[in-house]
């Protein structure tokens, strides 16, 4: 068995890695514990959300499949934050959980050059410090020129409910054993992290009269640029709240909580706390919001979002019945926590290749992240870079100013993470440029270059750019007579015009929207909606965008200042001790990268800059002699 690329794990990272590798023409092995669970959503059956929606749009623009899968399997689409600015708007969709996995498997099956192998990888085969394949169960060997490890929450996974625990990757799945130990032998550091999931309840046991309805958007917006529209029936979600009674019952289980008693060693995500954590940390809050989310058209299960817990079963059951609308809740599956091994990602370079072993890439939850979208983004980048390295091509590194994916990987490799990493819009310093609506304009040229852009997406991109140009050239400069505007200006809460102005000038008024102006002024237009929005934002946020562009230039200058390979940071005594240690550990490639390492101060950067200049001058003079 010899492959170009072997991918361990058929989760969200593994799927993207496999598809991108296959799309680029490589013979790919996808090894997964259970082939019928490829693409299974371990926890919340939802894709997208704040900043995560941006990641999915970027994955799609780069030739990935997550957007296409959720477009086919989504049952409740919602654009979040529509009342706020464009930088923080994000698409989210609830999925039909089992159908999502089926669609994911269909995408894998569409590629003849992906061979799915149902097995467990127990060891990475290494020769001369390079990965050359895998050892599977029963000592079978599989050889590959590149190996991508995406084992999720499975590495030595243990699941916990109250005082009970069980070795498992997630409920119903074996843990993965052997890989961590085999990598530790090569000097890899590993740690433990934890995540949890809420109970699922029977949909017929809810009292819907006591629940708030959360409707999907009237016009669901697809994630994928290749999807024309979502025509499937959409379902409602529901909202309710915990109360003091629920909290008091939950407190009775704290002495048996695996988290509070220290049985779980791994750190959990602070921003996605369990209900017991919320009660403990926010003791002054007398209620917490719960979203009740159907798991599919034909599923009886309702996911109780916000009630993740690993408290004993009887405590979960009693407590949930105190929540309005859930008095008769029938629990179909208990909530539980899982703790698992991860590899601190400072052991990777920005292609996601490991520093210690060549041709070995890590992606997904094993890099200390949490979430399907973060995992998928890494899988895509690891898979793509593995293919580029097979072709001896330059690696593909996205800058922080180009994509959330760039922010994600840069943060992972340069920062020390004590808890699972989740993407937020606040992590991206250039978020007005990295909007969910413009991932195509930002990234599809790369996909085209790598030969992974769908024909349909490309056609749409060409049309969209064409429309943006047309609107900019022919609509924005149009002069509007005051009498014409004043006929409707008041309706739009806009002050009356006294003199002729252009549409561009009108658009600078915060209350006016371009689409509305085009309609009211009866300017014939069949422009794509997203092109209209793009032009509108470029006018409304012109000053801000220009400031961001100027910052990016400064930022890029720092990136261009390369740090010579093999520079011995430990010998630069004028650096602070912390900077010496961190720089030596991460070995940044540029001054820009060094500046983002936690613990490296401005004063360290100045010292480093002077040192590098001196080092390079001396090198030149040595070479001339
Ligand atoms: C109980 C639970 C609760 C969670 N809660 C949250 C949450 O609240 N918020 C959040 O953002 N995320 C949560 N997650 C995490 C979410 O599921 C992951 O972020 C996401 O699935 C990671 O994708 P991945 O591709 O890295 O790994 P996974 O989706 O875990 O997939 C790993 C794949 O690797 C395979 N595999 C593992 N080891 C081997 C091996 N040795 N050989 C062959 N195949 C192997 C498995 O079969 C599986 O297909 C939760 C996960 C679990 C299990």
Can you give the CATH number for the domain in which 402 is found? 3.50.50.60
Judgement on whether residues 241 and 221 belong to the same structural domain of the protein: yes
Q: Which atom of ligand 1 is nearest to the CA of 38?
A: 49
Structure confidence at residue 288 as a pLDDT band (50, 70, 90): very high
Last residue of a domain, one of 509, 542, 575: 542
Structure confidence at residue 237 as a pLDDT band (50, 70, 90): very high
DSSP 8-state symbol, 208 = G
Q: Is the residue at 476 inside a domain?
A: yes
Q: Is the residue at 469 inside a domain?
A: yes
Q: Is the CB of 120 under 6 A from ligand 1?
A: yes
Q: Is the CB of 371 under 6 A from ligand 1?
A: yes
Share of the chain above pLDDT 90, in %: 81
Contact 266, 259 (CB under 8 A): no
Which residue of 200, 293, 365, 378 sits with most ligand 1 atoms within 8 Å of its CB, as the best mutation to test the pocket? 365
User: What pLDDT, on the 0 to 100 scale, is given for residue 417?
Assistant: 77
Instruction: State the distance from the centre of ligand 1 to the C-alpha of 485, rounded, in angstroms.
Output: 56
- Quick: pLDDT tens for 343-384: 999 999 999 999 999 999 999 999 999 999 999 999 999 999
The tokens describing 576, both together, are 């602070």
Pairing of strands 141-149, 130-136: antiparallel
Residue 412 has pLDDT above 80, yes or no: yes
Q: Is the residue at 157 inside a domain?
A: no
User: What pLDDT, on the 0 to 100 scale, is given for residue 268?
Assistant: 77
Instruction: State the distance from the centre of ligand 1 to the C-alpha of 465, rounded, in angstroms.
Output: 38
Q: Is the CB of 273 under 6 A from ligand 1?
A: no
Share of the chain above pLDDT 70, in %: 100
Judgement on whether residues 603 and 472 belong to the same structural domain of the protein: no
Q: What is the largest CA-CA distance in the chain?
A: 87
Q: Which atom of ligand 1 is nearest to the CA of 272?
A: 8
Q: Is the CB of 46 under 6 A from ligand 1?
A: no
Q: Which residue has the tokens 């912390």?
A: 578
Instruction: State the distance from the centre of ligand 1 to the C-alpha of 42, rounded, in angstroms.
Output: 6
H/E segment holding residue 122 = strand 121-127
Domain of residue 617, CATH code:
1.10.150.570
Mean pLDDT, residues 445-474 taken together: 96
Q: Is the residue at 551 inside a domain?
A: no
Judgement on whether residues 291 and 405 belong to the same structural domain of the protein: no
Residue 259 has pLDDT above 90, yes or no: no
Average pLDDT, the chain: 94
Contact 341, 191 (CB under 8 A): yes
User: What pLDDT, on the 0 to 100 scale, is given for residue 38?
Assistant: 98
Q: Which protein residue's CA is at the shortest distance from atom 47 of ligand 1? A: 33
Q: Is the CB of 436 under 6 A from ligand 1?
A: no
Which residue of 6, 8, 11, 53 sits with most ligand 1 atoms within 8 Å of its CB, as the best mutation to test the pocket? 11
Judgement on whether residues 529 and 589 belong to the same structural domain of the protein: no
Structure confidence at residue 540 as a pLDDT band (50, 70, 90): very high
Q: Which residue has the tokens 């024909």?
A: 455
Q: Is the residue at 112 inside a domain?
A: yes
State which of 260-274, 500-514, 548-562, 575-589 shows the largest mean pLDDT: 500-514
Judgement on whether residues 396 and 463 belong to the same structural domain of the protein: no
Q: Is the CB of 595 under 6 A from ligand 1?
A: no
Question: Distances in Å between the alpha carbon of 514 and those of 420, 523, 532, 544, 563?
Answer: 41, 11, 7, 19, 47
Q: Which protein residue's CA is at the shortest distance from atom 12 of ligand 1? A: 371
Q: Is the CB of 179 under 6 A from ligand 1?
A: yes
Compute the residue count for the chain. Answer: 625
Q: Across 343-418, where does the E strand assignment appear? A: 360-362
Other Cβ atoms less than 10 A from the Cβ of 382: the count is 33
Contact 380, 18 (CB under 8 A): no
Instruction: State the distance from the centre of ligand 1 to the C-alpha of 152, rounded, in angstroms.
Output: 4
Which residue of 154, 197, 334 sits with most ligand 1 atoms within 8 Å of its CB, as the best mutation to test the pocket? 154
Instruction: State the distance from the centre of ligand 1 to the C-alpha of 155, rounded, in angstroms.
Output: 10
Instruction: State the distance from the centre of ligand 1 to the C-alpha of 370, rounded, in angstroms.
Output: 9
- Quick: pLDDT tens for 183-204: 999 999 999 999 999 999 999 9
Judgement on whether residues 299 and 394 belong to the same structural domain of the protein: no
Structure confidence at residue 91 as a pLDDT band (50, 70, 90): very high
Judgement on whether residues 359 and 299 belong to the same structural domain of the protein: no
Last residue of a domain, one of 337, 365, 394: 337
Judgement on whether residues 211 and 323 belong to the same structural domain of the protein: yes
Q: Is the residue at 166 inside a domain?
A: no
- Quick: pLDDT tens for 152-174: 999 999 999 999 999 999 999 99
The sign of the torsion formed by the CA atoms of 304, 308, 314, 319 equals: negative
Residue 625 has pLDDT above 80, yes or no: no
Q: Is the residue at 407 inside a domain?
A: yes
User: What pLDDT, on the 0 to 100 scale, is given for residue 129?
Assistant: 96
Domain of residue 467, CATH code:
1.10.10.1800
Total structural domains within the chain:
4
User: What pLDDT, on the 0 to 100 scale, is given for residue 79?
Assistant: 97
Domain ranges, residue 604: 561-624
Nearest-5° angle of CA 168, CA 170, CA 172? 80
Mean pLDDT, residues 224-244 taken together: 95
Q: Is the residue at 554 inside a domain?
A: no
Instruction: State the distance from the centre of ligand 1 to the C-alpha of 295, rounded, in angstroms.
Output: 18
Instruction: State the distance from the centre of ligand 1 to the C-alpha of 358, rounded, in angstroms.
Output: 25
Last residue of a domain, one of 305, 337, 369: 337
Nearest Cα neighbor of 356 from 191, 187, 133 is: 187
Instruction: State the distance from the centre of ligand 1 to the C-alpha of 561, rounded, in angstroms.
Output: 38
Instruction: State the distance from the centre of ligand 1 to the C-alpha of 160, rounded, in angstroms.
Output: 16
Residue 623 has pLDDT above 80, yes or no: no
Q: Which protein residue's CA is at the shortest distance from atom 13 of ligand 1? A: 371
Q: Is the CB of 32 under 6 A from ligand 1?
A: yes
Which residue of 194, 195, 271, 367 sits with most ligand 1 atoms within 8 Å of its CB, as the best mutation to test the pocket? 195
Q: How far apart are CA 303 and CA 301, in angstroms?
A: 6
Judgement on whether residues 505 and 570 belong to the same structural domain of the protein: no
Q: Is the CB of 157 under 6 A from ligand 1?
A: no
The SS3 assignment for 369 reads: strand
Residue 450 has pLDDT above 80, yes or no: yes
Structure confidence at residue 600 as a pLDDT band (50, 70, 90): confident
Judgement on whether residues 184 and 217 belong to the same structural domain of the protein: no
Question: Distances in Å between the alpha carbon of 409 and those of 185, 412, 468, 583, 592?
Answer: 26, 5, 31, 17, 14
Judgement on whether residues 536 and 573 belong to the same structural domain of the protein: no
Judgement on whether residues 219 and 303 belong to the same structural domain of the protein: yes
- Quick: pLDDT tens for 604-618: 888 898 898 888 888
Structure confidence at residue 33 as a pLDDT band (50, 70, 90): very high
Domain of residue 217, CATH code:
2.40.30.260
Contact 166, 159 (CB under 8 A): yes
- Quick: pLDDT tens for 241-251: 999 999 999 99
Q: Which atom of ligand 1 is nearest to the CA of 173?
A: 47
Q: Which atom of ligand 1 is nearest to the CA of 9?
A: 34
User: What pLDDT, on the 0 to 100 scale, is given for residue 257?
Assistant: 87
- Quick: pLDDT tens for 549-581: 888 888 888 888 889 988 899 999 889 988 998
Nearest Cα neighbor of 534 from 623, 465, 596, 608 is: 465
């Amino acid at each position: 068995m010899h492959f170009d690329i072997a991918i361990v794990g058929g989760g969200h990272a593994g799927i993207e890695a496999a598809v991108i590798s296959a799309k680029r023409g490589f013979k790919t092995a996808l090894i997964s514990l259970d082939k019928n669970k490829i693409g299974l959503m371990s926890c919340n059956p939802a894709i997208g959300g704040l900043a995560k929606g941006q990641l999915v749009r970027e994955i799609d623009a780069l030739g990935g499949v997550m957007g296409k899968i959720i477009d086919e399997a989504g049952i409740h689409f919602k654009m979040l934050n529509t009342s706020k600015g464009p930088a923080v708007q994000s698409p989210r969709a609830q999925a039909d959980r089992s159908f999502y996995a089926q669609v994911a498997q269909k995408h894998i099956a569409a590629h003849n050059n992906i061979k799915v192998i149902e097995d467990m990888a127990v060891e990475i085969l290494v020769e001369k410090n390079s990965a050359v394949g895998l050892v599977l169960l029963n000592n079978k060997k599989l050889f590959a020129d590149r190996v991508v490890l995406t084992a999720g929450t499975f590495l030595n996974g243990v699941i916990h409910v109250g005082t009970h625990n069980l070795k498992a990757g997630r409920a119903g799945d074996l843990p993965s054993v052997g890989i961590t130990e085999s990598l530790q032998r090569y000097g890899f550091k590993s740690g433990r992290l934890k995540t949890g999931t809420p109970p699922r309840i029977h949909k017929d046991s809810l009292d819907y009269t006591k629940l708030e309805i959360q409707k999907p958007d009237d016009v669901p917006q697809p994630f994928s640029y290749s999807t024309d529209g979502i025509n499937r029936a959409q379902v409602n979600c529901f909202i309710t709240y915990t109360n003091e009674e629920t909290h008091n019952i939950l407190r009775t289980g704290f002495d048996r909580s695996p988290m509070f008693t220290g049985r779980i060693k791994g750190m959990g995500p602070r921003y996605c706390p369990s209900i017991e954590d919320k009660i403990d940390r926010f003791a002054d809050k007398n209620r917490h919001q719960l979203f009740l989310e159907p798991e599919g058209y034909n599923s009886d299960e309702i996911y109780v979002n916000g009630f993740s817990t690993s408290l004993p079963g009887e405590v979960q059951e009693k407590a949930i019945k105190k929540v309005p609308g859930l008095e008769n809740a029938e629990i179909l599956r208990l909530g539980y926590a899982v703790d698992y091994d991860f590899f601190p990602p400072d052991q990777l370079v920005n292609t996601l290749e490991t520093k210690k072993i060549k041709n070995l890439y890590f992606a997904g939850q094993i890099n200390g992240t949490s979430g399907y979208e973060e995992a998928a983004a890494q899988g895509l980048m690891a898979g793509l870079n593995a293919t580029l390295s097979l072709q001896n091509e330059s690696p593909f590194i996205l800058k922080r100013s180009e994509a959330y994916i760039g922010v994600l990987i840069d943060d992972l490799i340069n920062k020390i993470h004590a808890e699972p990493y989740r993407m937020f819009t606040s992590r991206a310093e250039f978020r007005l440029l990295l909007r969910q609506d413009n991932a195509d304009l930002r990234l599809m040229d790369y996909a085209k270059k790598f030969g992974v852009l769908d024909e349909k997406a490309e056609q749409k991109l060409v049309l969209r750019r064409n429309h943006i140009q047309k609107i900019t050239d022919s609509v924005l400069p149009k002069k509007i007579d005051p009498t014409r505007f004043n006929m409707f200006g008041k309706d739009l809460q806009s002050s009356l015009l006294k003199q002729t102005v252009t549409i561009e000038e009108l658009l600078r008024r915060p209350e006016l929207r371009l689409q509305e102006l085009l309609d009211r002024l009866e300017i014939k237009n069949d422009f794509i909606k997203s092109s209209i929005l793009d032009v509108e934002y470029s006018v409304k946020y012109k000053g801000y965008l220009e400031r961001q562009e100027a910052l990016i230039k400064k930022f890029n200058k720092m990136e261009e200042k390369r740090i010579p390979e093999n520079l011995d940071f430990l010998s630069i005594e004028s650096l602070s001790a912390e900077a010496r240690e961190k720089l030596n550990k991460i070995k940044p490639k540029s001054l820009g990268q060094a500046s983002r390492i936690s613990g490296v101060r401005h004063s360290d950067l100045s010292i480093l800059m002077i040192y590098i200049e001196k080092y390079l001058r001396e090198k030149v003079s040595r070479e001339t002699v």
